[in-house]
Amino acid sequence: MSRPRNLVAHVISWVVAGAIIGWFVVYALLRVGGDSPNDAAAPALVGAVLGIAAGGGIVYGARRAEAAGRPIGRRRIRKADPARMSAGDREVVRFVWPTLFGAAGITALIAIALLIQWLSITAPRPLSTLLMVAWDVVVAGWMFDEGQRIREYAFEGLDALYFGCLLTMVLAAIGLSRSVVSGGQVILIVTAGVAAAALGVLSWRIAGGRFVPVAAIAGIAAAALCLIAPLVG
């Protein structure tokens, strides 16, 4: 059985996402300013540091607010009793955790393909590709871990992984625009989009299932944009 995540584990998951998001934002700004991919990769680590600070601060503040009875947004369901859930909700759970397991396996394979391609380069190897490999490995492990927790009806990490999937799509779109294992990047975008949509549907159901699953729709739309943008850019 998976143990409930404590504050440190929750912070770590958001810190990883914050680091990558911060790095990507600064990297994109430097690229727009005219820097080459290799020149922009190392200075963009400043953004990663800022992202780490922001991610940790946001989670810590949210936990304090929740402990004080003032949750930000919807109250997270950390552990659910399946006997108290509807048959439809249990069916969603039984769909989501295998989806995440499959997505984890595909993401790991894409990371291996990227690493093999990176090692085969005889010219100076781009650091940005190696960072993509590292992120894909992290996300693969993250998906597998969260899938196991969802299998045990623990839902505390849905939001963090959802945003991790969105970022995975964005990084894959960058790889696609640079023709870095293009076929693998397309598969990765679709895989992360399916995982994000599944997480969005599950979050929607455990929150009461009112209106429409906005997060799931947004995940699909993000995947479509990440597939289209490199083709028209």
pLDDT in tens, 186-211: 999 999 999 999 999 998 888 777 77
Tens of pLDDT, residues 101-136? 999 999 999 999 999 999 998 888 888 788 889 989
For 46, residues 6+ apart whose C-beta sits below 8 A from its C-beta are 26
* pTM (2 d.p.): 0.76
Task: Name the residue with higher pLDDT: 92 or 21.
Answer: 92
pLDDT > 70 in the chain, percent: 85
Tens of pLDDT, residues 19-56? 777 877 787 778 777 777 667 767 888 888 898 888 77
pLDDT recorded at residue 104 = 97
Give CA–CA dist 123/151, Å, rounded. Answer: 45
User: What is the token pair recorded at 229?
Assistant: 């943008």
Q: How confident is the model at residue 15 (pLDDT cuts 50, 70, 90)?
A: confident
Type of residue found at 45: L
C-beta of residue 199 within 8 angstroms of C-beta of residue 143: no
Q: How confident is the model at residue 75 (pLDDT cuts 50, 70, 90)?
A: very low
Taking only Cα atoms into account, the Rg of the chain, rounded to an integer number of angstroms, comes to: 18
Task: Name the residue with higher pLDDT: 121 or 4.
Answer: 121
C-beta of residue 75 within 8 angstroms of C-beta of residue 66: yes
Give CA–CA dist 153/2, Å, rounded. Answer: 10
